[in-house]
Structure 1
């Protein structure tokens, strides 16, 4: 995973913990109270959605994959090698763009 993807992933998790609605205030980030619109990142250079599976028994991870089938194949192989490892956590990273609703920059 690139540095940009990791920063975006961490930032997205923090944002989702603090606001969950369109037009939410920026108060959680100590920014002036402005309204934001948000949606999936559409820039051509934006990374694809990433999929990762993590074994809940030992913590092993598939690593972030653009193709879910690669992560799923890893889980089958992991359980095949460790039959008691049957539980997995799915981590999905989607890249979002926050835009001030009035067109101003924050």
Structure 2
């Protein structure tokens, strides 16, 4: 399983996967947690896409784990209303260890 050295590496991989599906997404860090006596933390990332025609994006990112040696996992989505219409947030998780060798 791939462990990433930085959040930026994960954000880039998620963005590329979504762009390869022909869509644009705003991708960013969402939250993290770290266990006791470990250098790794489990980070959650969120990508915002338009709700309209979003199912093809979901279908294209659900296998992101195979592209990243299971280093990034798709964890689901949530729809929320905004002033501009509905937005679908996609959630991903990955392990981050800043001491990981690239």
Q: Does the TM-score normalized on the shorter chain lie above 0.5?
A: no
TM-score (norm. length: structure 2): 0.26
More helix per residue: 1 or 2?
1
User: Which structure has the larger Rg over C-alpha atoms?
Assistant: 1
Structure number with greater CO (CA < 8 Å, separation at least 6) is 2
TM-score (norm. length: structure 1): 0.25
More strand per residue: 1 or 2?
2
